[in-house]
Chain A
Amino acid sequence: MTAETVIGAVGKQAEFRTCQYTGLKVDVAAQTLIKANAVAAVVFLLIGGLLGLSVALTRWPAVHLLPAEWFYLALTGHGANVLLFWIIFFEIAVLYFASAVLLNCRIAAPKFAWLGFILMIVGALLTNYAVLQGDSSVMFTSYPPMQAAPNFYLGLILFAVGALIGCVIFFATLVIAKEERTYEGSVPLVTFGAITAAIIAVFTIASGAVILIPTWLWSLGLISNIDPLMYKLVWWAMGHSTQQINVSAHVSIWYLTAALLLGAKPLSEKVSRTAFFMYILFLQLASAHHLLAEPGLDSSWKIVNTSYMMYLAVLGSMVHGLTVPGAIEAAQRKNGYTKGVFEWLRKAPWGNPAFSGMFLSLVMFGFIGGISGVVLGTEQLNVLMHNTLYVPGHFHGTVVTGTTLAFMGGTYLVLPLIFQREIIWPKLAKLQPYLFGIGAAGISLFMMGAGTLGVPRRHWDITFSDAPIAFAHSAGAFLMMGLNGISAILAALGGAIYVIVVVGTVLFGKKIVGGHKLTFPLHSGGGAAVSHYGSEGAVKLPGTIILITIFFVSFVLYYFINWKYLSELWLFH
């Protein structure tokens, strides 16, 4: 059976261009799809980002911007727009890039891909419409028995169906590439990472269908009852696993950026790929992270699931935490930066926003999102932070400083290579990842601080001024919320610059023609490094060893500090 019989006859010959910087053959149909998905992503980032800023300014007690009703509405919209729509549109673009472009292949069934795109747009708009109507302020998680308007769930379902089509197109493109022998040997590592993301996405979307379709029918009155504990278990099989799509996707972008800008290759393909494979095997267990303070669940179930089966998926991330900076160090040493322990890092292209975005994402995802995630997901420690602001603090460390920052960095590669436009205002673009990164890191850390002091998440008024029984948080908690507000302004500035640079470049950037020299140049061997299989091999990595040791020591210390806190609590069993 050939690819044609599976996917349908090729109507007309696909049209290709050859990239002058990477030597890759780019299918024009795939390129248009990547553009469309990337543009949609940025639009939803803008909407979700503005809502996020309004949430943070409301949570700043001195500002307290929105009234309660609007606050809860904005918070619901913020979650849906950035966590789902921005990230998944961008991920679909990543999937098309990692299949069609990196494998020099035509994209499978582009018309079908457009259908997926339209479904995603319609779904996202429908959910936003339901939220803005005001009767669906149920938060992104929409826990029953609280009920949203039917369109809220329907929009999410349509969006998921569209995303599933995107995954199918991706897999079909892989089949075509193999059939038509457009690459040699194993697929490149970045494509391998994208395959990981797509496999997890299929699991995620299936879980989402299992829970969202009955919930939608319930909101229509066709089903009488949704058990809230069952809902939470299945919903998070979608909700948390979605974040594992993000991890696989942004780790792929780390490797992609390192390859294109520095000519980096993985230290050994076997290790980096096995680390991705760990994600497929174990990350799905994370639903338990949300059920550690719930009634009726056995400790053995909690321990096995919350630890991703003895932390084997965490092991995957810790491995990438070594191999990504390791690959960068190895490449930089080959590029001639061999002095001392850290010349490779000092002389890295810090002025290139694609690199700074990628590297900040790597560091912050590990130190902020990663460590806090393991602590939060420890069975007993969870009780210290469950549903406090620590939780959003943690996941802003993963999806904002990790995923979003990596995607922003990746955008500075997409603009010249796919949109073929020169980036306008390069000085502003250079500044952007730092501004956004520092702001987002502040948001994460200060929310974690507030959570440690007991401030609840999704809460309009930490002064409890309207409560019949008065309660007051400590002065420290108010300070944290203020600092969180200031950080949110910084991040919003960074986000605004990103949107302005992207939109400006797409509309008014200079068209790139043959022989043009890029403002932010690629490595001469970048195209080959990213699209070919192969390990770097034996190298000495003193700098990376120091970095990873610092990480490990921080991790261990922070872990035990939290056990110390826990041991001082009231006793319960």
Chain B
Amino acid sequence: MAVFPPKERIWWNEPIERVELIWIGVAFLWGLFMFGFMITWHFIGQQNLNKEAYRIAPSVYETKVEEFAKKYQVREEQGVPVVKPPAGADVYILGRLWQWWPVLELEKGTSYRIHLSTIDWMHGFSLQPVNINISAYPGYEHVFTLTPTESGEFGIVCNEFCGIGHHTMTGKIYVKDQKQAEVNQRLVAER
């Protein structure tokens, strides 16, 4: 081979092997499908993150959350207010060093407009064991609609590194059952 110069010297003029051509076709179509499926899920799926967000000064956001907590507080747990907003209400969640504040009590099958932001560093909102993970930023108020589909006690942990107390940063959401007929109706409407 070293004796004879290659027949083709310009790589883009060369032929393609058949097996390669078939695989390129399969892989390309698969890529196209995966691309299309992300778009499709916006129409057929119920899990799509809203892009709605507002710039907000952290101190202003903090005040909004405190007002929200005061308005709907039902009891206290470890010094943290437990807040039970009415169905469809705006719900505010605040991340700060090192807690998710306040504790929420929601109803299964009810939709809430969740507001999420932080007042110091970045934090990671991680609802467990459901496993919904959303980044939270200081200065950006992220708004999305959330509908719990199961009842019970759920933890919120922080999964964005936020300093030496990162591993102590938790929060909680209680989800209560309401009358079964009502839930089913709402879930059907929602889907």
Q: A interface vs B, CB < 8 Å?
A: 68-69, 72, 138-139, 143, 145-146, 184-186, 227-229, 267-271, 273-274, 292-299, 303, 307, 310-312, 314-315, 318-319, 322-323, 326, 374, 378-380, 383-388, 452-454, 456-462, 464, 466-474, 525, 528-529, 532-535, 537-539, 541, 544-545, 548, 552, 555-556, 559, 563, 566-567, 569-573
CA distance A72 to B160 in the complex (A): 12
The distance in angstroms between the C-alpha atoms of A298 and B48, with both chains bound, is 11
Q: How far is the CB of A135 from chain B (nearest CB, A)?
A: 12
Once bound together, how far apart are the Cα atoms of A471 and B141, in whole Å? Answer: 26
For residue B132, CB closer than 8 A to chain A, the reply is yes
Given contacts A384-B133, A386-B135, A532-B6, contact A466 B167 (CB under 8 A): yes
Q: How far is the CB of A223 from chain B (nearest CB, A)?
A: 16
Nearest CB of chain A from residue B46's CB, rounded to whole Å: 4
> Please, which residues of chain A bring their CB within 8 A of the CB of B133?
293, 383-388
* Contact present for B190 and A571 (CB under 8 Å): yes
Query: Is B14 in contact with A458, judged by CB distance below 8 angstroms?
Result: no
Residue in B closest to A71 when the chains form the complex, CB atoms: B167
**Given A68-B164, A139-B161, A146-B121: A571 and B147 within 8 A (CB)?**
yes
List chain B positions with a Cβ less than 8 A from chain A. 1-2, 5-6, 8-20, 23-24, 26-28, 30-32, 34-35, 37-39, 41-42, 45-53, 77-80, 99, 103, 111, 114, 116, 120-122, 124, 126-142, 144-150, 155, 157-172, 190-191
A505 CB to nearest B CB, Å: 30
Q: Which chain A positions have C-beta within 8 A of B45?
A: 380, 566-567
**Roughly how many angstroms separate A293 CA and B124 CA in the complex, as a whole number?**
10
Which residues in A have their C-beta under 8 angstroms from that of B136? Answer: 295
What are 29 of the A-B contact pairs (CB < 8 Å)? A146-B161, A184-B9, A268-B14, A268-B20, A269-B11, A270-B14, A293-B135, A294-B137, A296-B53, A307-B34, A315-B24, A315-B27, A387-B126, A388-B159, A453-B129, A456-B159, A461-B167, A470-B170, A471-B157, A471-B172, A473-B129, A528-B1, A532-B6, A533-B11, A538-B17, A544-B19, A552-B30, A570-B149, A572-B47
Q: Which residue of chain A has the shortest Cβ distance to B19 in the bound complex?
A: A541
Do B28 and A571 touch (CB < 8 A)? no
Please state if B134 and A386 are interface contacts (CB–CB under 8 Å). yes
A307 to chain B, nearest CB (A): 5
A194 to chain B, nearest CB (A): 15
**Cross-chain contact B47 with A383 (CB below 8 angstroms):** yes
Whole-angstrom distance between the Cβ of B116 and the nearest chain A Cβ? 8
Quick one: given A380-B38, A464-B157, are A146 and B162 in contact (CB under 8 Å)? yes
Q: Which of A185, A229, A552 contacts B137 (CB 8 A)?
A: A229
How many Å lie between the Cα of A470 and that of B154 in the bound state?
Answer: 11
A185, A312, A379, A469: the one contacting B103 at CB < 8 Å is: A469
Query: How distant is the Cα of A469 from the Cα of B126 in the complex, in angstroms?
Result: 14
B130–A387 contact, CB under 8 A?
no
Chain B residues contacting A383 (CB-CB under 8 Å) are 47, 49, 132-134
The residue from A68, A228, A385 contacting B138, defined by CB atoms under 8 A apart: A228
CA–CA, A462 and B157, complex, Å: 10
With known contacts A229-B137, A459-B167, A556–B30 Cβ distance under 8 A: yes
Q: Determine the chain A residues whose CB is within 8 A of the CB of B6 once the complex forms.
A: 184-185, 532-534
Measured between beta carbons, the chain A residues less than 8 angstroms from B155 are 469, 471-472
Q: Is the CB of B124 within 8 A of A464?
A: no
In the complex, which of the residues B18, B26, B128, B171 contacts A469, with contact meaning CB atoms closer than 8 Å?
A: B171
